[in-house]
Structure 1
């Protein structure tokens, strides 16, 4: 039959339904990799040091095979913005405030229900690089970087600015757990206070469990519990761990409750903190074989670090999700300035940014990338000021432009949506993530004069 050339033609010609909730519940896990950024990409853009990340607090209906780790150090000098690129010109347009009303969102998501379901990235492909036993021998450069981290972490008071600078281009696997705890604001910089703070926060979390978890089937909390106790995650994870984390978070944040997709945001923390105790293949590791105290510590630390992350993007998950709406609109305006061809191509085939970018913002690209790439990405997000809330916008823009050739080769609405929902990143690793981050960094400073809503 004739291919549909617009959204409306496609919607009329198909009976497929995309159950966003079910699809989002299934895809859950993946691996670890430290990465790097080639220096050539930023040869014309020397960058200033990155300031500290600042946090902000979430219901949704729709839904390291190490590589060279410090080819690109974080920005250290003054920026020289250039409006002419070697391969073309940058079109700068005026921008309006990024606002989408609830009706527009509902209408767009209703359209999205007619779209084909996106295949889930196989677990094996997403986890394979977690197997540290197959890691190559550490190079002299890798050893030097690891020594820098160990020195910073052993100081009586860790210099967070220096730690962020070294973390931007990837954190060595051996020191990633403690570095993430520090960069997220969960651990204090003062070494003498760390053990005391960890004990207090872990006890506090299990105090919540004791106080609330037994009431999960009560009338007050049963809906929250039902939503947070979705499908059992892959074998490497103990399902009650995620169930407890999500349930406790939801009842402590009643303005948001449980949000579809938050389960994704627990996973990187859980895997990173698990890596402190697991040398073999994480995919097939039985968490229950660890000592009970170790299991409890991993669970509590994952809860608190996820909470710190969500505190910074809470408006993504409150009623009507204004944060995601604004970020999708900001992405549309940004892409219209970066690449008019892609922007106009979407308009020609009636592709709305919300149809593919909603999930990019809601799940921080975790459904688009293997977990090994997400963990590397989060090294930089935690090193960047407002990495999850602000820098992520530029990463999404760079991610979209990465597929420019493929996008412009599509000749109908269905083909475009299928491509955008099935981008072939399954074999991505540190090199690809490094290039993506370098381009996002370039865009961030090229559009430093962007409207305020880009910075939200």
Structure 2
């Protein structure tokens, strides 16, 4: 039996039990989930603690969570003009603190516009996010009104009057229509692109977490999760709801990365970068000193590595493989630091030989390399 078939048999046995042995599952996933698309969605849902370990609870749990998400769409995505709102109490021109209309317009100006910009350029190397989803949100795409989120911040058709004069007084007014440039055309009624689905998830997350809101980079974290669920035919129908809850679970672990006031805390982003710097000093003093001498500090390169969980440093298939190991590890983000340290040490010869400009460039644009080798090096560093 080939190694691939042997691993398939092993994962089938683990997931075939009535009660999932999470320790055995994590041990297996640490070495990578077989690339057949069948198992990663289930495994990740378990690793995010979205699916309970007792399989007889899955159906009821999923039904409840998916209905809860549908209710969130109704509460947060449907504009006040379509809901049953008494205009004598809550008028669109109201600027009162309790006005749903006031909140509606403020959201457009604050975080929705930024979300819209970010999701449109999500993982541009693949076409997946520009393609229509097979399971659009019926509430949104089949509405008689245009209630898609991106329409709230899309360039609008502006009308203005061109006044012509001859001598005294106005003699002619020409109404001219001018359209702002639009980089993405909306899909026809009944359809929506995958990036629109991601936009809705991030919008609802920001609404539910006003203390944190939306921060640039969250789109890069949610991208791999949504892709794993939505690209699998067995999980695609409920990919939006499942992705929302898994993304929320992950953000609860790394939220300190995105809150500026917590930057200096142990689990804040500066604290994480300091841990990486100290680990590099311990594991390879020569590279550490070289970077220090050149003034290349961790914030120049590792800020993105850590906050985005390396999602920008490797092609998507490699990111999924990295995340298998990171999510399966008992100390996820300690292991992430070891992976980052391994990345630096793997290119140590180049870093020791070259100048500031070259070293910054190679660290900010990490060279193509087998991620399994990176993971093996990280484990060696940790065990040593």
TM > 0.5 = yes
In the aligned structure 2, how far is the partner of 1:422 from the partner of 1:160?
Answer: 36
Deviates more, 1:295-304 or 1:305-314: 295-304
- Give the RMSD, CA atoms, in angstroms: 1.9
How much has 1:418 moved relative to structure 2? 1.4
How far has the Cα of 1:436 moved from its partner? 1.2
Matched ranges for 1:11-160 at <5 A: 140-160=2-22
Name the residue aligned to 2:243.
302
Aligned to 1:184: 48
| 8 A contact 2:45–2:51 mirrored in 1 | yes
Counterpart check, 1:418 vs 2:361: yes
Whether the aligned pair in 1 keeps the contact of 2:206 and 2:214 (CA below 8 Å) is yes
Partner of 1:236: 128
Cα distance in 1 for residues equivalent to 2:206 and 2:77: 12
Larger radius of gyration: 2
Could you report, residue by residue, the CA deviation over 1:409-429 in whole angstroms, capped at 9, with x for unpaired residues? 212x2222112112222xx4x
> Which of 241, 246, 252 in structure 2 is aligned with 1:311?
252
- In structure 2, the CA distance between the partners of 1:218 and 1:296, relative to structure 1 (3 Å rule), is farther
Structure 1 residue 442: Cα displacement = 2.1
Is there any run of 5+ residues in structure 2 with no aligned partner, and where?
80-100, 130-193
* Aligned length in residues: 286
Alignment partners' CA distance in 2, 1:307 and 1:405: 40
- Match of 2:10, SS state, is helix
Q: Secondary structure at the match of 1:229?
A: helix
1:179 & 1:423 partners in 2: Cα distance? 28
- Please state how far the C-alpha of 1:220 moved relative to its aligned partner: 4.2
How far is the alpha carbon of 1:335 from its aligned partner? 0.7
Pairing 1:204–2:68 present: yes
How far apart, in 2, do the equivalents of 1:227 and 1:206 lie? 24
Q: Indicate conservation of the 8 Å contact 2:229/2:236, yes or no.
A: no
Task: Provide closer, same or farther for how the CA distance between residues 162 and 150 of structure 1 changes in structure 2, counting only shifts above 3 A.
Answer: same
* 1:361 pairs with 2:248: no
Secondary structure of the 2:128 match is coil
What residue in structure 2 maps to residue 68 of structure 1?
none
Residue 307 of structure 1, CA deviation: 1.3
Tell whether 2:205 aligns with 1:249: yes
Matched with 1:275 is 231
**What runs of 5+ residues in structure 1 fail to find an aligned partner?**
1-138, 279-293, 447-456
Q: Is the 8 A contact 1:256 1:319 kept in 2?
A: no
| Match of residue 264 from structure 1 | 220
Q: Distance in 1 between the 2:291 and 2:30 partners?
A: 33
Query: Aligned pair 1:407/2:351, yes or no?
Result: yes
**Aligned pair in 2 of structure 1 residues 147, 275: CA closer, same or farther (>3 Å)?**
farther
Match of 1:441 in 2: 379
TM-score, scaled relative to structure 1:
0.60
Q: What is the CA deviation profile of residues 319-363 of structure 1, one whole-angstrom value per residue up to 9, with x for unaligned ones?
A: 245211101111111111111111111122111211111111111
Question: SS at 2:74's partner residue?
Answer: helix
Alpha-carbon offset, residue 365 of structure 1 = 1.2
Spell out, residue by residue over 1:62-91, the C-alpha distance to the aligned partner (whole angstroms, 9 max, x if none).
Answer: xxxxxxxxxxxxxxxxxxxxxxxxxxxxxx
Residue among 312, 330, 341 paired with 2:275: 330
Q: 3-state DSSP class of the match of 1:165?
A: helix
State the 1:296 CA deviation: 5.0
Bigger fraction of residues in strand? 2
Q: How far apart are the structure 1 equivalents of 2:236 and 2:41?
A: 15
CA contact (8 A) 2:198 2:226 kept: no
Distance 2:78 2:327 in 1: 34
TM-score (norm 2): 0.71
Corresponding residue number in structure 1 for 2:94: none
